[in-house]
């Protein structure tokens, strides 16, 4: 049932895909029994107390007042990709903390978009393509030069820069990037069961299902 819901979410228009719902469906697959409604309500409660409905206000509220932060001690823990765990522990990785910021912003009328810069996910306002927020680093504000410098630091100058790295990332592509992260984490951990569960989710995404048909069959052999 959960996989079917995920398939329905991923088959629709990217602009209408709610990141909170898609993220929590993925979390529920990896954590059977998870109450998605409970965590959607938790997001509502967080947003209800946001005092200033601006991009800067949302950032300041989440990262300064509530203390959400990057999980630098256990960056590759798969739970960093689960929105419920991010809310509970107030730690996460760049993309999951970005989803948190986008979804809190949406609830208070602040339109934010993800910026899928390779190696480090960022957030910006729909209306401002010159100022970026780094949720992993306490919501630090960056201009375009700062973002490029961050990219070059993380990649150690071994990857070419493109201005397209700072283009908005559609919600559907954000979810696929989350799935890519989870696939990589579980492959590295040799966690065959959760790897197979992630492959089941990936099989619900049309373009991934075509490319990974053989890998899906191999991963799911564990359930046969």
> 86-143 pLDDT, tens per residue?
999 999 999 999 999 999 999 999 999 999 999 999 999 999 999 999 999 999 999 9
**Containing H/E element for 74?**
none
Beta pairing class for 122-125 and 140-142? unpaired
Secondary structure of residue 116 in the 3-state scheme: coil
Which residues does 211 contact at the CB level (< 8 Å), separation at least 6?
Answer: none
Residue 1 pLDDT: 62
Task: Describe the chain by its helix, strand, coil percentages, rounded to 5.
Answer: 60, 10, 30
- The number of C-alpha atoms within 13 Å of 175 and in the hemisphere containing its C-beta is 30
Distance CA 126, CA 43 (A): 21
Q: Output the pLDDT for position 110.
A: 98
**Contact between residue 120 and residue 140 where contact means Cβ atoms under 8 Å apart:** no
Q: What is the DSSP letter of 158?
A: -
Predicted pLDDT at 220: 86
* Token pair for 84: 């419920």
C-alpha distances out from residue 167 to 61, 90, 153, 184, 202, Å: 25, 27, 19, 24, 24
Tell me: pLDDT of 224 over 80.
no
Mean per-residue pLDDT of the chain: 95
């Amino acid at each position: 049932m959960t996989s079917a819901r995920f398939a329905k979410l991923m088959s629709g228009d990217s602009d209408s895909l709610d990141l909170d719902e898609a993220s929590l469906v993925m979390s529920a697959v990896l954590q059977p029994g998870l109450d998605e409604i409970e965590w959607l309500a938790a997001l509502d409660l967080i947003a209800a107390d946001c005092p200033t409905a601006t991009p800067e206000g949302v950032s300041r509220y989440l990262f300064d007042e509530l203390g959400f932060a990057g999980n630098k001690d256990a960056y590759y823990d798969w739970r960093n990709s689960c929105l419920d765990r991010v809310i509970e522990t107030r730690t996460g990785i760049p993309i999951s903390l970005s989803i948190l910021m986008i979804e809190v912003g949406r609830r208070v009328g602040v339109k934010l978009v993800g910026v899928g810069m390779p190696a480090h996910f960022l957030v910006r306002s729909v209306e401002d393509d010159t100022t970026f927020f780094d949720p992993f680093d306490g919501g630090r504000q960056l201009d375009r030069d700062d973002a490029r410098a961050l990219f070059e630091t993380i990649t150690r100058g071994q990857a070419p820069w493109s201005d397209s790295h700072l283009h908005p990332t559609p919600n559907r592509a954000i979810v696929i990037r989350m799935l890519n992260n989870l696939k990589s984490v579980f492959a590295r951990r040799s966690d065959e069961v959760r790897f197979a569960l992630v492959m089941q989710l990936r099989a619900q995404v049309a373009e991934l299902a075509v490319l990974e048909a053989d890998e899906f069959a191999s991963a799911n052999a564990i359930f046969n």
